[in-house]
């Protein structure tokens, strides 16, 4: 028996391209976790979710525990429609698919839009899980750098024009996190948003807008690409992972009806009635705007603590982007290999994610690292930066 010989040809190709690769090492128990893209423990509403489950099961008994039957499954969809409407996106029920987090949404989008000939345009750096997902479908990528104003749409335009002139395939879609990007924390400016939509129209590609952090503005959330889109080119992906809890696995895609129908057809885990109806009950019983306000304030303060510490403690050669929301700060340490530095950092008691993990061409990420200000406490954040600064200082000697 040789398992390999039973794998389908597509899978043989995908496995060859994507061996379950090297990833983060195990992080010691007492490390300050500036690596974790998790909400802060005290912001996870565990007691409210406990109360929601109690209320739900007392009211509905077995209904949320069958495949179908809980009226709150539809309710969750309406609640998400309402949240989208708050941000200028009016979508019908047929234009919205609830998924198990943003990851499943990205996978379903890839499933319907990609084949092995397809070209995907991405930001450099970008969300590493998205990269892993796309690699299951195609080997063809265009990678466009991000600066402090987000995706460099002028470089995208140049690349598209060249490809067109040389008769090369144009991308089927661009995957972008335009708002409080993972990992850079940057936000695409209004002008660039407009430019990007124009390019999508002229060069006939779709835009996958991953908006996982979009509600977590320190001040105001920018207009989404989806709300600016007049041509149905934007597939908008969202999630409650960052504003409620990732373990509930609630995400979605909002897009033109045909895209949603096709994705629904390939979504074979069925629905998640218990998780969905629990979330609906939770949302019914809290003031979501108030919760968001609290989250924004807290993350703003944590981010400010991180940036002040960087400013105060790091050698002047070290630079970073200033986030306006989200979970992350993106730091450059010139002349340092951040992947090599990680072992020493963890020995000192602080963890981060080396930049290379966010690039298609990992060499590009060598001097960068992603710091998360979401999970650790302010005091820990400052202490973590101090530890990093010490290592960087020693390396510079």
* Structure letter (DSSP) for residue 217: B
**Residue with the two structure tokens 């710091």:** 371
Site residues (CB under 8 A) for a copy of itself, limited to 299-318: none
From the list 155, 170, 228, 256, which residue makes contact with a copy of itself (rule: CB under 8 A)? Answer: 256
Site residues (CB under 8 A) for a copy of itself, limited to 83-122: 99-101, 103-104, 106-107, 111-115, 117-118
From the list 32, 206, 305, 336, which residue makes contact with a copy of itself (rule: CB under 8 A)? Answer: 206
> Which range in 60-68, 285-293, 335-343, 360-368 contacts a copy of itself by CB under 8 A?
60-68
Closest to a copy of itself by CB, 119 or 392: 119
Residue 14 found at the interface with a copy of itself (CB under 8 A): yes
Site residues (CB under 8 A) for a copy of itself, limited to 263-292: 264-266, 268-270, 272-275
Number of residues that bind a copy of itself (CB under 8 A): 77
From the list 262, 292, 313, 389, which residue makes contact with a copy of itself (rule: CB under 8 A)? Answer: 262
Other beta carbons less than 10 A from residue 380's beta carbon: 18
Closest to a copy of itself by CB, 20 or 167: 20
Cα 137–Cα 146–Cα 331 angle in degrees, nearest 5: 110
Q: Look at the alpha carbons of 114, 120, 126, 132 in this order and tell me if their dihedral is positive or negative.
A: positive
Q: At its nearest, how many Å lie between a copy of itself and the CB of residue 46?
A: 5
Residue 246 found at the interface with a copy of itself (CB under 8 A): yes
- The token duo for 321 is 């982007």
Closest to a copy of itself by CB, 92 or 261: 261
> Which range in 4-12, 145-153, 290-298, 353-361 contacts a copy of itself by CB under 8 A?
4-12
Q: At its nearest, how many Å lie between a copy of itself and the CB of residue 261?
A: 7
Site residues (CB under 8 A) for a copy of itself, limited to 30-59: 38-39, 41-42, 44, 46-47, 49-50, 53-54, 57-58
Cis, peptide link before residue 351, omega less than 30° from 0: no
- The token duo for 315 is 């050698």
Closest to a copy of itself by CB, 265 or 312: 265
Q: At its nearest, how many Å lie between a copy of itself and the CB of residue 145?
A: 26
From the list 122, 156, 199, 245, which residue makes contact with a copy of itself (rule: CB under 8 A)? Answer: 245
Residue 216 found at the interface with a copy of itself (CB under 8 A): no
Q: What is the rounded CA–CA span in Å between residue 18 and residue 25?
A: 19
Query: Diameter of the chain by CA atoms?
Result: 66
From the list 20, 23, 26, 287, which residue makes contact with a copy of itself (rule: CB under 8 A)? Answer: 20
Site residues (CB under 8 A) for a copy of itself, limited to 329-368: none
C-beta separation of 224 from 87 below 8 A:
yes
E strand segments, 248-385: 251-254, 319-320, 328-332, 350-351, 353-354, 368-372
E strand segments, the chain: 32-33, 96-99, 119-124, 140-147, 150-151, 173-176, 206-210, 234-239, 251-254, 319-320, 328-332, 350-351, 353-354, 368-372
First to last CA, the chain: 57
């Amino acid at each position: 028996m040789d398992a390999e010989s039973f794998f389908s040809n597509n899978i043989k190709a995908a496995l060859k391209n994507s061996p379950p690769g090297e990833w983060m090492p195990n992080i010691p128990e007492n490390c300050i976790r500036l690596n974790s893209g998790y909400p802060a423990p005290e912001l996870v509403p565990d007691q409210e979710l406990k109360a929601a489950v109690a209320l739900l099961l007392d009211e509905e008994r077995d209904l949320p525990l069958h495949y179908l039957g809980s009226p709150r499954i539809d309710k969750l969809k309406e609640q998400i429609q309402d949240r989208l409407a708050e941000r200028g996106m009016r979508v019908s029920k047929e234009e919205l698919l609830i998924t198990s987090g943003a990851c499943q949404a990205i996978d379903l989008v890839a499933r319907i839009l990609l084949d092995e000939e397809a070209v995907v345009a991405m930001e450099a750096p970008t969300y590493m899980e998205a990269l892993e997902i796309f690699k299951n479908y195609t080997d063809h990528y265009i990678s466009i750098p991000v600066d402090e104003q987000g995706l460099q749409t002028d470089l995208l335009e140049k690349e598209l024009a060249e490809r067109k002139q040389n008769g090369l395939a144009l991308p089927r879609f661009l995957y972008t996190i335009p708002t409080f990007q993972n990992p850079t924390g940057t936000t695409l400016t209004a002008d660039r948003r407009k430019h990007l939509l124009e390019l999508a129209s002229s060069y006939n590609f779709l835009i996958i807008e991953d908006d996982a952090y979009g509600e977590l503005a320190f001040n105001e959330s920018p207009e989404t690409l989806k709300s600016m889109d007049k041509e149905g080119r934007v597939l908008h992906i969202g999630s409650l992972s960052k504003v409620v809890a990732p373990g509930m696995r609630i995400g979605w895609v909002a897009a033109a009806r045909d895209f949603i129908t096709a994705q629904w057809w390939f979504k074979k885990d069925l629905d998640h009635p218990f998780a969905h109806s629990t979330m609906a009950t939770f949302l019914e019983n809290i003031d979501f705007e108030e919760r968001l306000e609290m989250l924004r304030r807290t993350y703003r303060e944590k981010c400010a603590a991180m940036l002040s510490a960087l400013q105060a403690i790091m050698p002047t050669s070290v630079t970073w982007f200033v986030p306006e929301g989200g979970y992350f700060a993106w730091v450059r340490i010139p002349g340092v290999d951040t992947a090599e530095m990680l072992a020493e950092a963890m020995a000192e008691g602080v963890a981060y994610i080396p930049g290379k993990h966010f690039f298609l061409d990992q060499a590009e990420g060598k001097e960068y690292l992603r710091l998360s200000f979401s999970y650790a406490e302010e005091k820990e954040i400052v202490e973590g930066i101090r530890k990093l600064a010490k290592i960087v200082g020693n390396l510079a000697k």
